[in-house]
Amino acid sequence: MMTRRQAIKTTALVTAAVAIAPAVIGQNNPVPATAGAFTLPPLPYALDALEPHIDARTMEIHHGKHHKAYVDNLNKAVAAHPGILTALRIEQMLQELGGGGVGIGFDMSKKMSELPVNIRTTIRNNGGGHFNHSLFWQMMKKDGGGEPKVELGKAIELSFGNFADFKTKFTEAATKTFGSGWAWLVLSKGKLAILSLPNQDSPLSGGEQPLLALDVWEHAYYLKYQNKRADYIAAWWNVVNWDFVAERYTKLKV
């Protein structure tokens, strides 16, 4: 179970990560801000910055269509229940939603239990989609890849033996995720762990603290890789922003 101190620490960091996305945007990324309680964060790079590993057209659709749809649908749910939801940040919603068997985490809060099932489902699917993607864009960068350094690198060696073994296990989790979902590197009770979660489920709902994520929904790769998910995963390692991931680890570790 995550302690109150850890929960507050996590809330503060994930809020900053979602709300303060870098403003370095190429002119070929003209997605307008979304009206409502939640907004679509800009990409921290141009649409073609991750080429040739992730193509510009995929990024345009993934960010400007799919992520925007999650934000729009989440805002509709908030508008329908402003008394309960307006004051909550997205990470608070997901934490209070509870794990529902995902990891070791919070039970559903009384506040969330008072909401209709369809609204809770919208928060899990669309709120999770908004939060997950807001982190995902920052977990990648132009000329990324390589291996993490300093504290995170040592922690990975301690938990998985070495970076190569970690990479193999994470790749396996992403490859074997059935249907749509995500592979995650998380902090769970202060230790590193790899998770595979379905749909847009967030580690926050299970009490885990997300560090690194890979979206394996088909819309994340199908235009370029078709059904070759393994090729997409292999290419993705070349754009991982280890600086961002390492910074999260340093701030979130117990």
The CATH number of residue 36's host domain is 3.55.40.20
Tokens of 56: 């510009």
pLDDT band at 114 (very low <50, low <70, confident <90, very high): confident
Stretch 195-201: mean pLDDT: 95
Number of H helices, E strands in the chain: 13, 3
Question: Could you tell me which residue, 107 or 31, shows the higher pLDDT?
Answer: 107
pLDDT for res 22: 40
pLDDT value at 31 more than 50: no
| pLDDT classification of 100: cutoffs 50, 70, 90 | low
Range of the domain at 34: 4-252
pLDDT(11) > 60 = no
Average predicted confidence (pLDDT) for the chain: 86
Q: How would you label 98-137 residue by residue, b for 16+ Cβ within 10 Å and e otherwise?
A: bbeebbebbeeeeebeebeeebbebbbbbbbbbbbbbbbb
Band (68; pLDDT cuts 50, 70, 90)? very high
Q: Is the pLDDT of residue 64 over 70?
A: yes
Name the maximum alpha-carbon separation found in the chain: 49
Domain count, the chain: 1
| pLDDT value for 84 | 82
Of residues 19 and 175, more confidence is placed in: 175
Say if residue 65's pLDDT is above 90.
yes
When pLDDT is averaged across residues 94-118 and rounded to a whole number, the result is 74
pLDDT higher than 80, residue 37: yes
Q: What are phi and psi of 4, to 5 degrees?
A: -60, -40
Q: Tell me the backbone φ, ψ of residue 213, rounded to 5 degrees.
A: -140, 150
What's the confidence (pLDDT) of residue 83? 83
Asked whether the predicted pLDDT for residue 28 surpasses 60, the reply is no
Residues facing residue 219 across a β-bridge: none
CA distance 95 to 124: 10
CB 202 within 8 A of CB 94: yes
